[in-house]
A and B are shown apart, each in its own frame.
Chain A
């Protein structure tokens, strides 16, 4: 793997890789910004809220512990607590102490939260379709395939510069 002749072909296309990366990052950030703007204007909500709702929907009626949720969201604990507090105040989620250990809190969706999540998820999907509708079905599949191949390579090389 470390043989120099493994590296040479990569450096040859590094300019092209850089250009592809710049399109990738701009495309991602624009889509992210777009979805986030749309959530704000159409649902008075945010990507982080959507993220919380989706995790709780997936967790089912028992919900999940605050710390498990924080781990999935990868945000700092303080931020999560404030976010959850606001969502509780809005009636989207509720907090329940665990039956086995009263020090542990579970959060779960309320009926309203579930309804809000479904509406947001439907829009989310429709927006994705509109945004990427510029590409034909064949091109979409082609792009997915290309990104998967980049992803597989990135997974192998993470944390190993020069490998």
Chain B
């Protein structure tokens, strides 16, 4: 599964941005937005790599497999392949390959949609559900460790600020893509 490639690019891009920031001739010291971006992506990549490596070592699984199981668990009912593939946009896996692998391990099974037998649904098996419960508990505990540098109040602030920035991204792209959207 070719998942690590996608994970490594942002970190190096951020190295790049750091260099731009250093080399930039605008002479301004206050490039807070750029400095923020220089931290955001490398940190995400680092944590993601750490989670990938722990999932592999402890459970012999990958992040896309974990994400598919998480989505099935969250939905609480069998899902179509296309619903799962939307979810996988985040972790960058190929949904057919991921589901094949999970099926081989006995964690999920394919079943036809009762009303239209041409449509395949994917469901967690009992074995998959209990394996996922163990993975999710470990995953949450790892994140607790990795974010342990912050007391609860600061974690709350981090969550809030990132949430607002996250929500703003789409509007910015839309306006930047308009022909005369930017001044």
Question: Would B39 and A31 count as touching, CB distance under 8 A?
Answer: no
Given contacts A30-B166, A127-B176, contact A72 B15 (CB under 8 A): yes
Within 8 A of B (CB), among A1-57: 7, 9-21, 23-32, 34, 37-38, 41-42, 47-48, 50-51, 54-55, 57
**Contacts of A47 on B, CB cut-off 8 Å?**
9, 13
Partner of A149, one of B12, B19, B33, B150: B150
User: How far apart are the CA atoms of A125 and B21 in the complex, in Å?
Assistant: 9
Partner of A121, one of B5, B24, B168: B24
**Contacts of B142 on A, CB cut-off 8 Å?**
161
Question: Would A135 and B12 count as touching, CB distance under 8 A?
Answer: no
**Contacts of B155 on A, CB cut-off 8 Å?**
13, 16-17, 20
Number of residues in B with C-beta < 8 Å to the partner? 73
User: How far apart are the CA atoms of A129 and B18 in the complex, in Å?
Assistant: 15
Question: Would B9 and A75 count as touching, CB distance under 8 A?
Answer: yes
B86 within 8 A of A: no
A104 within 8 A of B: no
User: How far apart are the CA atoms of A38 and B177 in the complex, in Å?
Assistant: 7
**Contacts of B15 on A, CB cut-off 8 Å?**
55, 72
**Contacts of A29 on B, CB cut-off 8 Å?**
44, 90
**Contacts of B33 on A, CB cut-off 8 Å?**
125, 128-129, 131-133, 140
Return the CB mask of A119-138 against B: 1 if under 8 Å, else 0: 00100111111111111010
Number of residues in A with C-beta < 8 Å to the partner? 79
**Contacts of A147 on B, CB cut-off 8 Å?**
36, 39-40, 43, 158
Question: Would A153 and B16 count as touching, CB distance under 8 A?
Answer: no
A82 within 8 A of B: no
A86 within 8 A of B: no
Given contacts A121-B24, A134-B168, contact A72 B12 (CB under 8 A): yes
User: How far apart are the CA atoms of A142 and B144 in the complex, in Å?
Assistant: 21
User: How far apart are the CA atoms of A54 and B150 in the complex, in Å?
Assistant: 33
Question: Would B145 and A157 count as touching, CB distance under 8 A?
Answer: yes
User: How far apart are the CA atoms of A34 and B168 in the complex, in Å?
Assistant: 11
Chain B residues in the interface with A (C-beta under 8 A): 5, 8-13, 15-17, 19-20, 23-24, 26, 31-37, 39-44, 46-48, 50, 53-54, 57-58, 90, 139-152, 154-159, 161-170, 172-173, 175-177, 182
7 closest cross-chain pairs (CB), A and B: A14-B144, A153-B149, A54-B16, A17-B147, A134-B168, A28-B44, A23-B162
Contacts A11-B144, A20-B147 aside, 15 further interface pairs with beta carbons under 8 A come to: A10-B148, A14-B140, A26-B90, A29-B90, A51-B12, A57-B23, A76-B5, A129-B34, A134-B168, A140-B36, A142-B161, A144-B39, A146-B154, A151-B43, A161-B54
